[in-house]
Structure 1
């Protein structure tokens, strides 16, 4: 009987250990899988990434508004250089944002982005964007950062998209912890 309990306890320990390992693995995989899901579906306003522009331009126009914000603890000024522009659907357009490091030390930041209305996200494609890479600004440095984009002509084939006349492209900058700042304890 005693041996039977030991085997049962061993099996339970192995099973629970396997569950714990699977949960840790799922936690690590959750963020990349969620990001992939958002990129594929446009869920939560996640835009698409394109290699090239659209293959044709149609007469329909869309007003694209630009929004900028930053994390409260990031000592940068961050703003769009234009508040809006009207583009033809399928037309490749170029917009700029400006960031300035107002601190006395270098800071690396990374921008997150989305579009509203969320249902327009699968049709909003970026070819080039400052949000694809980290941006490091020296003390007092200002940079102009481009975003090259288009609204996919397929938007015109979806009846539920007929009411979309304005799309807002929003960015939020967050400080990225660098190896240097983690070594000095500064964030």
Structure 2
């Protein structure tokens, strides 16, 4: 192989690797949302309603978990520890964050749903996740999450075994933008 061909092959290989790196995050997200891998959830604009899920729609318990990264001086907790919802029923839950420091602090929350097999059926209509939240010293804020569990979960023999779903949020400190 000539030096020119070696350089061309190397440049092509590097370009291909950069392309794969750039595409990996969106592709991974797409796969997770399609399969529920990693507890990925879906977003929706409205819940189908328990009526559409059938009169005998299954009931699941939704547990709420909240935590903060070590470098974030906030107290963060769910307004309720759990609630029972029918598949297809729109539900509303609140989380409260309080800045315990003497300076303004910005945080961003990430979420996870477990068990993973239920993630593809957990639909968030409105959520505070991935949105910067700036809290002044001593300030508390209640943040709503509107969601529903897709009635199709009852038709998935593997996912239907999950009678309890945990929605977990973790807040991380962010540099002010």
State the TM-score, normalized to the length of structure 1: 0.85
- Tell me the residue number matched to 2:141: 143
Shift of 1:161: 2.9
**Structure 1 residue 132: Cα displacement:** 4.6
| 1:50 Cα offset (Å) | 0.7
Partner deviation per Cα, 1:58-95 (whole Å, 9 max, x = no partner):
43111100001121111111111100001111110000
**Structure-2 change in CA distance of 1:33 and 1:105 (3 Å):** farther
Kindly report the root-mean-square deviation, in angstroms, between the aligned alpha carbons of the 2 structures: 1.7
More deviation, 124-133/53-62? 53-62
Q: CA deviation at 1:146?
A: 0.3
43, 53, 57: which is aligned to 1:49? 43
Structure 1 counterpart SS, 2:102: coil
For residues 178 and 65 of structure 1, the distance between their equivalents in structure 2, rounded to whole angstroms, comes to 31
User: 1:33 Cα deviation (Å)?
Assistant: 2.2
1:67 aligns with 2:72: no
Structure 1 segments (4+ residues) deviating >3 Å: none
Task: Tell me what 2:97 maps to.
Answer: 99
Is 1:109 aligned to 2:107, yes or no? yes
**Structure 2 unaligned runs (5+)?**
none
Structure-1 separation of matches of 2:20 and 2:33: 19
CA distance in 1, matches of 2:133, 2:47: 25
Aligned position for 2:4: 10
Q: 1:37 aligns with which of 31, 34, 37?
A: 31
Is 1:84 aligned with 2:82? Answer: yes
Structure 2 residue aligned with 1:182? none
Question: C-alpha separation between the residues in 1 aligned to 2:23 and 2:105?
Answer: 29
| Per-residue deviation, residues 70-123 of structure 1 (Å, max 9, x unmatched) | 211111111111000011111100000011122233222221111111101111
Deviation at 1:24, TM superposition (A): 2.5
- Which residue does the alignment assign to 1:21? 15
Partner SS for 2:76: strand
| Pair 1:36–1:107, CA change in 2 (3 A) | farther
Whole-Å Cα distance in 1 between the matches of residues 89 and 147 of structure 2? Answer: 8
- Deviation per CA, 1:164-186: give whole Å up to 9, x if none: 2111111111122334xxxxxxx
Runs of at least 5 residues in structure 1 that lack an aligned partner in the other structure: 180-187
TM-score, L = length of structure 2: 0.89
